[in-house]
Structure 1
Amino acid sequence: MSATREVKFSEAEVRRQAADKSVRDLRDPRHPGLYLRFWSNRERATWHLVRGKKWVPVARWPELGVSAVLAELPALRQRLLRSPATAPVVSGMVSVGQLLDWYGDRMARDRSLSAKRKAGARSAIAQHLKPRLGELAVVDVTADALDKHLMWPCQAEVSLSYLRQMFALLLTAFRQALQLGLIDRNPMAGMRFNDFTKAKILPKAARLRGVQLADLMQLLAQAFAESPSDGMLALMMLAHGTRIGETRMARWADISLAGAEWFIPAANAKTRTEHRLPLTDQLKALLVRYRAIQQGQGYEGAYLFPSRRGLPLSEAQASKVFTRLGQGAWTSHDLRKVSRSTWTDLGIDGHIGEMLLNHSLGKIASTYIHTQAMRQRRAALEKWHAWLDGIGFGAIHGLTETLSEISHNRTQPADGVVSSDLTEFVTREDSKR
């Protein structure tokens, strides 16, 4: 076996030489000091940097191909000069594509992330990040390179908010790789999204306004009569400002009529924190009516919004509900928006509104106001549902006694609340389940 053969390094050439058992080492005169030594099985090899008589292993082939090693070679030489006693072994994560593959797999296995977030990250990596940055070496990542290959081309194709999400994903991937020692430095350290564009990201315009709620309530009343599950899904979201994901997965076991509370488990919430919503008399009456409809149709299952397979509605199935209801004029998220904006018009405290939406207020704020939050949340929802009664909600939930008298033309509901016998009735109903 000859000691060394001179070649021009390329992936095809390395594989061709691997088939020749008479060759042990390969070198390319264009890259002094870089050698590739084949293992005995010829299927693998080790890249070395040679200084004098010392052979320093730097990576393994084929994990690290020719183009990747050549891209990393200047950095490897610098590391060897700084610390000649330490072998600068490369992990194999040399290209941005390799880093994205690693981080995408890590996200897919992260149990703390929702399926929706995982799917969004997977799509961003596959559709945009890898096609544009996959071949870029980590050492070549600069603000100019990102602007040229990703930021500027993408701003003409996708929304700025989505581009910011992709930027954040890429930044997080680099940070995590650095923390785990998979890369030597974070080339994105110090970069910010507004370094690349000064355009403001404007919130999406609301497609439902308070003045449209009376017509919307008539539409939901008709939907509840014709397709109770569709109507109920929209009504629950409008009544509480909940997200489509946490609403579609609601279980009857999480509804306590006796305790007047809807419990949303942390696993179902976008914020991954459990959420407790008070149930007003109107909502308890609506739930009793809806449960009776389900039982009349022969359903005794666990979910408020079941699919035909016995599981809760999938994300796609729930989205189709709002395609049918909104007819392209509004979406499920518009229900959440119009609820929040009308709460403000009704004078409901901003902190309480944010808590009802299950937005994060920060650890200190959440701890400080938790003691009185449930009472204040209940008062806020009672005020909101009384206002909804004035535009037709009462005809849907069927509560015979009016909780407060309001006019269609008044923004503020009356403060007085009339008691009813519903509490006793739904307590008995709850005990039977």
Structure 2
Amino acid sequence: MSKTRAVKFSDAEIRRQAADPAVHDLRDPRHPGLYLRFGQDRQRGSWYLVKGKAWKQIARFPDLGAAAVLAELPALRQRLLHDSSATAALGGLSTVGQLLDWYGDRMARDRSLSAKRKTGAKSAIACHLRPRLASLPIREVSAPVLDKLLMWPAQEVLSLSYVRQLFGLLVVAFRQAHKLGLIDSNPVAGLKFVDFTKAKIMPKAARLRGVHLVELVPALAERFEEQPAEAMLALMMLCHGTRVGETRMARWPDISLADGEWFLPAEHTKTRTEHRLPLTAQAKALLTRYRATQIATGYEGIYLFPSRRGRSLSEGQASAVFTRLGQGEWTSHDLRKVARTAWTDLGIDGHIGEMLLNHSLGKIASTYINTQAREQRLKALEKWHGWLDERGFQAIHNLTGAQFEDSHNPAQASSGAGCTAIPDIVNGEVSK
């Protein structure tokens, strides 16, 4: 015969009672009508709200623990009081912690997101959002509560820009859960970051300026002789303004010296859109020299920057490279910043500069520039690389003046230093 036992509901108490096979149902005298019925395996069960002889299942255990059910119980009773035909099921998300767990799992399985984005979101949830908000019932979320538990404590120990990212992640999680009907209402709808602070988020100051390249470029030339891969990683970013993530994953099959193009697949870029960069004569010569150094050491794989495991450099390995190169004075992103600033100083059109950086310009602008501006982008990079030549870049790529004048016809470049060896050492997109 089934047996009902009166207990004080908690997850720990439920697990203790599950060990007694004689107990079929649990109730809590403090909450009349609320029952937990164990399943056959005793590890799972169902929450019921009982009125008379009617048992209405409202949630599953342990999908919804005791604390979450008790937090939602008053609102559920109120809803049924006003509308007896209303659904008695709970959506499964009653606390902010449950919502964050759900959204974190959703992001982890989203194929459209980069690994870096997933890792960043996972860290933000685990290290900052959950510790401050996990036990907060969703029905109690409000601007004053968020200000007290999250925003103001966080801004004391974290940068304001990162606090804004945390808030943005929380807002998106609530919005998505509401769209899918997992929560009845969105308590953060209409809230903005400026509601919590009027302080301005200042961009990080650039630690590299054009005047520093007079020393940096020759230093990279020396590094190229000792550690060509490390120097090349920095040079590719400096020459093209690319991000470290997309640069470290560069592959030889995506570089066509014959067509003068470096293709960056969408899955490698931050914007998730493919990126095509024209290659100048200097860049071709640099790539040719670098590939020769790889082959001389016995590497003929597909990556420009391989790790010891045969894959491309990891994010951590690339970060370590710039720790060694920058010595705490500059970072990988400073190379991208100094390139963009120099392009402006050289009179390069702003739209062309943004396209080179692979920034989003809107659908219409992006379509126009992609189809019309290849020559303008090539000329912009030629002007930039010519400027770098005056600061020591020429000593690295070893391109002669004669070769430079013939840069638009790489197949006829001078022997040895130009691109005549391309078919032998670089498998570009058109090389079969």
TM-score (norm: length of structure 1): 0.91
Distance 1:29 1:385, change over 3 A: same
1:301 deviates by 1.3
1:428 deviates by 3.7
1:322 deviates by 1.0
**What is the alpha-carbon distance in structure 1 between the residues aligned to residue 328 and residue 94 of structure 2?**
45
Distance 1:47 1:428, change over 3 A: same
The gaps in structure 2 that reach 5 residues or longer are 427-432
**174-183 vs 422-431, which moves further:** 422-431
Q: Report the counterpart of residue 92 of structure 2 in structure 1.
A: 92
- Contact kept, 8 Å, 2:68 with 2:95, in 1: the verdict is yes
1:254 deviates by 0.9
The letter for the 2-side match of 1:273 is T
1:25 deviates by 4.1
**What is the alpha-carbon distance in structure 2 between the residues aligned to residue 62 and residue 227 of structure 1?**
55
The letter for the 1-side match of 2:308 is R
- Contact kept, 8 Å, 1:57 with 1:87, in 2: the verdict is no
Q: Report the counterpart of residue 228 of structure 1 in structure 2.
A: 228
Q: Report the counterpart of residue 122 of structure 1 in structure 2.
A: 122
**Structure 1 segment 294-305 matched on structure 2, within 5 A:** 294-305=294-305
Q: Report the counterpart of residue 174 of structure 1 in structure 2.
A: 174
Does 1:429 pair with 2:417? no
Distance 1:378 1:85, change over 3 A: same
Does 1:292 pair with 2:292? yes
**What is the alpha-carbon distance in structure 2 between the residues aligned to residue 381 and residue 49 of structure 1?**
70
- Higher relative contact order at CA 8 Å, sep ≥6: structure 1 or structure 2? 2
SS in 1 for 2:401: coil
Q: Report the counterpart of residue 46 of structure 1 in structure 2.
A: 46
**337-346 vs 61-70, which moves further:** 61-70
1:244 deviates by 0.6
**What is the alpha-carbon distance in structure 1 between the residues aligned to residue 48 and residue 328 of structure 2?**
61
**What is the alpha-carbon distance in structure 2 between the residues aligned to residue 197 and residue 256 of structure 1?**
50
**What is the alpha-carbon distance in structure 2 between the residues aligned to residue 313 and residue 39 of structure 1?**
50
**What is the alpha-carbon distance in structure 2 between the residues aligned to residue 350 and residue 162 of structure 1?**
28
1:340 deviates by 0.1
**Structure 1 segment 10-21 matched on structure 2, within 5 A:** 10-19=10-19
- Contact kept, 8 Å, 1:241 with 1:357, in 2: the verdict is yes
Q: Report the counterpart of residue 412 of structure 1 in structure 2.
A: none
**Structure 1 segment 72-83 matched on structure 2, within 5 A:** 72-83=72-83
- Contact kept, 8 Å, 2:285 with 2:419, in 1: the verdict is no
1:46 deviates by 2.6
**Structure 1 segment 246-265 matched on structure 2, within 5 A:** 246-265=246-265
SS in 1 for 2:68: helix
The letter for the 2-side match of 1:424 is Q
1:208 deviates by 0.3
**What is the alpha-carbon distance in structure 2 between the residues aligned to residue 356 and residue 401 of structure 1?**
26
**What is the alpha-carbon distance in structure 1 between the residues aligned to residue 328 and residue 229 of structure 2?**
20
Identity score, percent:
68
- Contact kept, 8 Å, 1:68 with 1:94, in 2: the verdict is yes
Distance 1:42 1:324, change over 3 A: closer
- Contact kept, 8 Å, 2:167 with 2:193, in 1: the verdict is yes
- Contact kept, 8 Å, 1:56 with 1:87, in 2: the verdict is no
Tell me the number of residue pairs that the alignment of Structure 1 and Structure 2 aligns.
420
- Contact kept, 8 Å, 2:151 with 2:196, in 1: the verdict is yes
**What is the alpha-carbon distance in structure 2 between the residues aligned to residue 68 and residue 289 of structure 1?**
63
Does 1:270 pair with 2:263? no
TM-score (norm: length of structure 2): 0.91
